[in-house]
Amino acid sequence: MDGFGQTLYNAVQYVLSFDSTVMLPVVIFVIALFFRIKPAKAFRSALTVGIGFVGVFTIFNMLGNTIGPAAQAMVERTGLNMPAVDLGWAPLSAITWGTSIAPFCIVLTLIINIVMLAFKWTKTIDIDIWNYWHFAFAGALVYVATDNFILGLVAAGVATVVIIKIADWCAPLTQKYCGLPGISLPTLSSATFFPIGLLGNWIIDKIPVINKLHADPETIQKRFGIFGEPMMIGFILGILIGLLAGYDFNGIVGLAINLAAVMYILPRMVRILMDGLIPISDGVKEFMAKRFPDRTDFYIGLDIAVATGNPAIISTGLLLTPIAVLLAFIVPGNQTLPVSDLANMAVFCSMIVVACNQNIVRAVIIGIPCLIGDLLICSSLAPLITQLATNVNYDISAAGNLVTAFLDGGNPFRYLIYQVFSGNIVAIGIAAVVVLLVIFTYKVTKKQVFGSSEAEDAEE
């Protein structure tokens, strides 16, 4: 690595050493000042956003600390013994940030976003810099597989463009169902599944009997009264998961109360976050409207965590957790023991739930083949991810000789990019088919996403 590259690497590593609850408010404050928002107002909003994210991540971590051991207990009860150990997304992100290509991917992502905004190719201003690691991971996979740095950067750039466009695409529904006005969610681990969710939902519409199955939070609450409230759903799911984990009475009730608390508190933390974001969003829109009078629809791109307060998303994630363990046991060719990423199921299924208009039944149905794909892909990529970890001197001795990450390591979009840029002819053909399917999905679901009055404008 030359002098400039080493300096850039060191600078990025210093910035990334900040906790996300520190870095994001700082980034938001700087952006607010850039868009001419008064310093006092900018500071108050940035601080409120930081407080909101502390709340969101605290509750989200509580979910992980609660569901993680239960998932581990379910795994142990099945007697699974797979060679590839699921590290989870956090160690995978640390491994990615340790690669030499990661700092350049950050700069590349910023440039791509600015260019896309300037040419009106996107509405999303992606300020979620910490999550740029999702794009950098795509680049790192290609780089380590091909030993071609430029090819790795191009791969990361392609991932960036596609996910930012998908963030624009799903913004109307995420704003509608997650209560996030002016926000888009360009997180690769979830945005990937939005087109899949839309296509799956469209297919289910054509299937008799199944197309009549419907369960969203509002319908459940109307039908079951107090037992349909989000906290009661969390309590009931906690009992079911506790039973599957083999917990005693004390453990089952403790798990149930903790999941009820998550369902009750998390949406309130998101509201605090939005109290800080709305003034920033309004200020950015006002600034851009003065300079671009024909554009008033910019989105602030944030971490998918802000959407996980949706009760339908949490419920679907909890339902898919034991299903993922069962699939790991029965899917031929799977070599991954899913543990750490099981606590992150709400992120995995979030955009599927949104694409299904919060229909939990449909989201679970569509989520099952996606989980199967994730298991097979993360198993296939385990040697490459292990090599990445070894290259950056990440200690995997406690995990074993072969490591992966169930959800982010098994992401189908990133895997397709890796295969295409590695020169796999079959993958190139599959990519062409995927593009055609995405175009088809966009056309047949325009009214669902944008509404009949906006569908024509969206196509343009």
- The CA distances from residue 244 to 71, 307, 331, in Å, are 9, 27, 20
pLDDT surpassing 50 at residue 157: yes
User: Given this model, what pLDDT does residue 60 score?
Assistant: 67
User: Among 18-27, 254-263, 264-273, 397-406, which is the least confidently predicted range?
Assistant: 18-27
What secondary structure letter does DSSP report for 334? -
What residues contact 150, with CB distance under 8 A and at least 6 apart? none
Closest-CA residue to 188 (of 362, 347, 317): 347
Q: ∠ CA 402-406-409 to the nearest 5 degrees? A: 80
Closest-CA residue to 440 (of 240, 203, 91): 203
pLDDT in tens, 325-354: 889 888 999 998 787 788 788 889 999 999
User: Given this model, what pLDDT does residue 419 score?
Assistant: 96
Instruction: Read off the pLDDT of each residue in 85-95 and give the average, rounded to a whole number.
Output: 83
User: Given this model, what pLDDT does residue 296 score?
Assistant: 65
What residues contact 386, with CB distance under 8 A and at least 6 apart? 396, 401, 402, 403, 404
What residues contact 183, with CB distance under 8 A and at least 6 apart? 171, 174, 175, 277, 281, 299, 300, 301, 302, 306
Instruction: Read off the pLDDT of each residue in 201-230 and give the average, rounded to a whole number.
Output: 79
pLDDT in tens, 275-300: 777 787 777 777 777 777 777 678 88
Instruction: Read off the pLDDT of each residue in 28-45 and give the average, rounded to a whole number.
Output: 83
Q: Where are the domains of the chain?
A: 3-450
User: Given this model, what pLDDT does residue 206 score?
Assistant: 94
What residues contact 453, with CB distance under 8 A and at least 6 apart? none
User: Given this model, what pLDDT does residue 12 score?
Assistant: 61
Closest-CA residue to 137 (of 93, 195, 179, 168): 93
Q: Whole-structure pTM over 0.85, yes or no?
A: no
User: Given this model, what pLDDT does residue 103 score?
Assistant: 84
pLDDT surpassing 60 at residue 454: no
- The CA distances from residue 366 to 194, 401, 410, in Å, are 11, 33, 16
Please give the Cα distance from 459 to 119 (Å, whole number): 17
Split at pLDDT 50, 70, 90, the class of 162 is very high
Assigned token pair, 30:
């700087």
pLDDT surpassing 50 at residue 453: no
Please give the Cα distance from 434 to 416 (Å, whole number): 10
pLDDT surpassing 60 at residue 459: no
User: Given this model, what pLDDT does residue 16 score?
Assistant: 60
CB 149 within 8 A of CB 1: no
User: Given this model, what pLDDT does residue 227 score?
Assistant: 60
Name the more confident of 46 and 109.
109
